[in-house]
Amino acid sequence: MGKRVCVVGAGPSGLTAVKTLRQAGLEAVGFEMSPVVGGHWVIDNPNGRAAAYRSLRTNTTKHMSRFSDFEMPAEWPPYPSHDQVRAWLESYVDAFGFRHAIHTRTTVTRAEPREGDGWEVALTGPDGATRVEAFDALVAASGSYWDARVPNWPGAFDGAVLHAQDYRDPITPFDARGKHVVVVGIGNTGCELACELAAGGAASVHIAARGGTWILPKTLNGTPASDGAPMTHPTDPVISPLNLLPAWARQAAFQAIAKARMAGLFGARMARLQAMGLPAPPDHPLSKRPTTSDEILGALESGAVKAKPGVERLDGGHVVFADGSRLPADLVLCATGYRLSYPYLDPAVADTRAGDLRLFKGVVAPDREDLFFVGVSRPTGSFWPIAEVQAQFVAAMLSGAYRPPPRAARARRARPILGLNAWSPAIYGLELREELRRRRR
């Protein structure tokens, strides 16, 4: 085989990276600290980093979330459950026959660049023994939903403070029945868990947010809201006239069109949410990745969930909010997201202290030709097919089919991977394909 490539992680991004690179003739080897593959779609994953709760379903449809050569079963619901996603990922590994290339119960503890190029990777195996192996390239596909971000509010609290990563259901690990709960955050997880806790018997549920976001329905008239929407997958064609524009102008035009269309479709819904006490959303619907929730509007309007501004401090058995109001609380549940973190890489190699990375084409470390980041993005669709096209880009570069521009040009063209408005998967897919054609050997 060709170059030897270390792939860190065996969630959806790591799996499609190993499969794609091996199909290109590269010796891709995956390392996963858990005994199983599937990442945070494995509930109670033994790696201790699971973010799945029992009611978790995808926020994008199975059609949007598919790999280009591997669909989800037709009989599954539009938004598959976490156990269905795990089964699909397991069948993906077996269908393409690369399970032998993934080393489970093996942790990448350190990865250091060698003189010139290539990597020395320190691995701790199932027996606790550490070894060092050499690789020609490294793909960081260890995910961005594991290093929980918990706010450090002033004051002492008599109740429990949990991150959503630890939540499984309304009684695990904290029995919220008959208790007062404050959920912090209005992303997908925050909205879903606030509604679930209210339905699960909590005495009261308040949802707190410092800033607003657009909250869109998952379904319209009983069908997925995304049905019929164009450009939701990297393999979808880019519609005219966007496909006629130069590459630099496509995303800008998409942003303008999306803003007008989303404001027209959902502006009235957002006004109702704001009337219920949620913060005003940003002017552009895609300046944050929108939340999708069918239940939160009804829960707020019925009073099952009540909105509050951001948390200011904790005070004994109470939570004090930014407007000076205070509420009794037994549980503060933080749906406050995760830090972008690669602990096996030196900050000089991957500095994520600002919560972002600047990458060439959203994949390549601009000052190296042997370090790649797969699966971290801000699309309007699913992350998984984005990871697949990123892996295809890596495969073309490492196999020699694609000649990257010089380092200075890569640095000049590098962009943040998270500090951008949410973007179209189809436009991004076309951008990568055009780059490959332009500089194909």
Query: Rounded to an integer, what distance in angstroms lies between the CA atom of residue 164 and that of residue 177?
Result: 17
- The reported pLDDT for the residue numbered 1 is 65
Query: Rounded to an integer, what distance in angstroms lies between the CA atom of residue 338 and that of residue 148?
Result: 4
CB distance 109 to 130 below 8 Å: yes
CB distance 311 to 219 below 8 Å: no
- The reported pLDDT for the residue numbered 234 is 97
- The reported pLDDT for the residue numbered 440 is 80
Of the candidates 440, 438, 434, 439, which has an alpha carbon nearest to the alpha carbon of residue 243? 434
Query: Rounded to an integer, what distance in angstroms lies between the CA atom of residue 65 and that of residue 76?
Result: 13
Walk along the chain (441 residues) and give the pLDDT tens digit of each residue.
689 999 999 999 999 999 999 999 999 999 999 999 999 999 999 998 888 999 999 999 999 999 999 999 999 999 999 999 999 999 999 999 999 999 999 999 999 999 888 999 999 999 999 999 999 999 999 999 999 999 999 999 999 999 999 999 999 999 999 999 999 999 999 999 999 999 999 999 999 999 999 999 999 999 999 998 999 999 999 999 999 999 889 999 999 999 999 999 999 999 999 999 999 999 999 999 999 999 999 999 999 999 999 999 999 999 999 999 999 999 999 999 999 999 999 999 999 989 999 999 999 999 999 999 999 999 999 999 999 999 999 999 999 999 999 999 999 999 999 988 999 999 999 999 999 999 886
- The reported pLDDT for the residue numbered 441 is 62
Angle at 426 between CA 289 and CA 213, to 5 degrees: 10
Radius of gyration of the chain (CA): 22
CB distance 111 to 121 below 8 Å: yes
Query: Rounded to an integer, what distance in angstroms lies between the CA atom of residue 337 and that of residue 51?
Result: 10
Parallel/antiparallel/unpaired status of strands 147-148 and 338-339:
antiparallel
